[in-house]
Structure 1
């Protein structure tokens, strides 16, 4: 199973971020509270796909809500953190999208905190029950949270583990006869200070870098596509990837299968 861990003075390990087996979700130990963390919920995606591409799909709003509600019941979090793109359509949420989010808030067992993504421009004004933080991210204890479409705040980079979404990572797996399939994946590795120092216009040594670990979350939404992290010529969406990620970063399937270094999968 994929785990982001820290060492104590006694040398034992305490789990900071532990994915829920088989699910695109994790539980984060934030010190004084536990958070259920997901990324890229994309409420109202069916209406968005109809508008953007002329694709007609029956809404899976009830299914998405039930999956997240069940996860909340399963892990009993103090809060639910969404790593951006809670909604799909950029700008003010449409009526169907608004209804989906309102029903989701009613169903969740804990308050929802949103680290806004590039699709969440109208959320803060539309939903007074959602805590919307700055787009530079949020730090709770030793865990940082960002969407990934912008550069993280320095405070977030000071966390031991940084969780992000935005990329919707997937891997393409092939069998012996050339058949292939794409599966959601976790991407995990140490962050390199160089691109962050370049962005800030400082030397890397001035960052006081503690080599935080980055955990890139698979998308919660099953219809949102993704970045094939092991495809030749694949480009990332985030401004600090892949340069900000160590070459030995690894990919994992949702069931915990370790695929090894993502560049060589």
Structure 2
């Protein structure tokens, strides 16, 4: 089984999560938690599913413990309802905060996504929570800096100064066919060197000058397995982020177990 070489951001084998070391701080990164998704699916589509809130929370806590992480970084869509958290979704988010920040004396950094419209009202005044702009931000100090953003909108050009940029939003998956005409769908990672010109808004009247090595971009699989995804190796399925796939033209695809599939276009 081929695995990517050691880098700033290291996926956890078998999990839609990764770790990074920023100076003395160890961080756990996840994307697209979608708290309250079961209630949302019931409301949006009439689909009845058992509530997995406790299971999701325990997965996060186990990963924090196993990796000895000090901080949880959520790459957007912590919640599910675009209009704001209420009811069971609010209860799930409150319970996650208590478990991660209060009970563990930890911290949470949130790069808001398109489903996090009222995240500031919910978490903005809570101790231990940092909320970044929707355009993302850069964490850590050189030589190891981490750009974090959800990816539903154009990122802050300052992210080009980071060693590695991490994003969610896309929920990448691959459709794998078998020899008898069947197929299965698996979650996947996308990793590739950034094309700086494609990562910034083309309508920006004063695009930034970028010198030096381009950062690596890591597109995270969704933490919530019920949230669907983009089949990145199927041409008919377009990408969601306004800068993909142009920003990582040579991206490679990896399964959660670390299997390297090669260039995502040829999987």
Query: What is the TM-score when the length of structure 2 is the normalising length?
Result: 0.90
The equivalent position to 2:254 in structure 1, one of 241, 252, 255, is: 252
Alignment of 1:24-63 (within 5 A): 24-63=16-55
Alignment of 1:88-237 (within 5 A): 88-108=80-100, 109=104, 110-127=106-123, 128-129=125-126, 130-141=129-140, 142-195=145-198, 196=200, 198-202=202-206, 206-208=209-211, 210-237=213-240
Q: Which runs of 5+ in 1 are unaligned?
A: 6-14
3-state DSSP of counterpart to 2:8: strand
Q: Which runs of 5+ in 2 are unaligned?
A: none
* CA drift at 1:31: 2.5
2:147 and 2:196 map into 1 onto residues whose CA distance is 16
3-state DSSP of counterpart to 2:109: strand
**Alignment partner, residue 243 of structure 1:** 246
Deviation readout 1:41-66 (Å, 9 max, x if unpaired): 00000111111111111110011011
* CA drift at 1:203: 6.5
Is 1:70 aligned to residue 74 of structure 2? no
Cα RMSD for the two superposed structures:
1.6
2:201 and 2:210 map into 1 onto residues whose CA distance is 7
Deviation readout 1:128-152 (Å, 9 max, x if unpaired): 3332111111211211100001111
Contact in 2 for aligned 1:3/1:19 (Cα 8 Å): no
**Alignment partner, residue 10 of structure 1:** none
3-state DSSP of counterpart to 1:29: strand
* CA drift at 1:233: 2.0
**Alignment partner, residue 11 of structure 1:** none
3-state DSSP of counterpart to 1:207: coil
2:49 and 2:207 map into 1 onto residues whose CA distance is 50
**Alignment partner, residue 262 of structure 1:** 264
* CA drift at 1:232: 2.1
2:207 and 2:44 map into 1 onto residues whose CA distance is 43
3-state DSSP of counterpart to 1:102: helix
Deviating beyond 4 angstroms after TM superposition, the runs of 4 or more aligned structure 1 residues are: 1-5
Aligned length: 254
